[in-house]
Amino acid sequence: MKLLRYGPVGREKPGLVDKDGKVRDLSAHVEDIAGDAISPEGLRKIAAIDASSLPLVEVDRYGPCIAGTGKFICIGLNYSDHAAETGAKVPPEPIIFMKATSAIVGPNDDVEVPRGSEKTDWEVELGVVIGKHAKYVSEDEALDHVAGYCLINDVSERAFQAERQGQWTKGKSCDTFGPTGPWLVTKDEIEDPQNLKMWLDVNGHRYQDGSSATMVYGVKYLVSYLSQFMSLHPGDIISTGTPPGVGLGQKPNVFLKAGDVIALGIEGLGEQRQKVVQG
C-alpha cells in the first residue's frame, strides 16, 4: 500500500493511493497515518478495506507521509561512495545523529535557506518508518518492526554542521530541512530496500544518481543496531544516508540559493519537488 497525508499544514487527513493511482480518503477508518494505524494489525485492517468504496480526493498539497514522529534518527556517511567524495573513511560503526522533528515538512513544501547560511546542501535518502516497538531486536527480527519506507531530502547546512562547535544536529535541524513523502510505502511493496535507484536534480541538473546498493549498513542492521541503544516507537523515522553527488562533493562546491528547484526520487517511493526560498 501507499499511505499518505494531504491537506493544509497542521490539518492533514489520511489517505491512500488506489490501484489506478488515485488518492482516496481514509479518515472514516483511521485518525491519521500514525501510531496503531501503522502497526502490523493496523496495516492489515487498512489493506482489507475496499479502496474503491473510499471517497476520491483532489490533492492540493501532500503533507509529511507519517505523523506522530517522536524521533528522526539519521545515519551519517553510510554510503561508501559518498564517504569517498567527502574524503571521509567509512566508519566502523554507524554514525548516529538526530534531526529535530520540527524540520519535517511535506514533500513539495518550500525549503528555506536559513539566515546566515552560505552552505545549504541536499541529500536524497531512504527513510525507514517504524511500525512496532523495537528494543534489543536481532537483524532477523528487524523488519517485523518496520511499517514501510519513504523518500526523504535530508537538507543540511554544512557550515552549521561541521565548521561551528558541537555536533551535527544544528546543521541538520533547521525548519523545512526534512521533506518527507509523498507516501509511506508498506514494506511488502519493496522487494529489496538494498537495491533501489536514487536520484536528485537541482535546476534540472542531475547531481545524485546512485543506489541503495552502496549502503554500508543496511536496513535490517540499522534497526537492530539502533534498538540496542534506544527503543524505537511507531512513527519514528530512520534516514539511512545518501549516495554521492551532494553539493559539498562538487569541485567547486555548489550550494542552494533562493530560486533553485530541487527534484528527487527513489524507485518505488515516489518523487519530491521543492522550491528554495530565503528563510
Local confidence pLDDT in tens for the 279 residues of the chain:
999 999 999 999 999 999 999 999 999 999 999 999 999 999 999 999 999 999 999 999 999 999 999 999 999 989 877 767 777 778 899 999 999 999 999 999 999 999 999 999 999 999 999 999 999 999 999 999 999 999 999 999 999 987 887 778 899 999 999 999 999 999 999 999 999 999 999 999 999 999 999 999 999 999 999 999 999 999 999 999 999 999 999 999 999 999 999 999 999 999 999 999 998
Residue 102 CA to residue 121 CA, distance in Å, equals 18
Peptide bond preceding 182 in cis form (omega within 30 of 0) = yes
- Quick one: CA dihedral 42, 43, 47, 53, positive or negative? positive
Residue 68, judged by CB atoms within 10 A of its CB (0-12, 13-18, 19+), counts as: middle
122 dihedral zone (left: phi>0; alpha: psi -120 to 50; beta):
beta
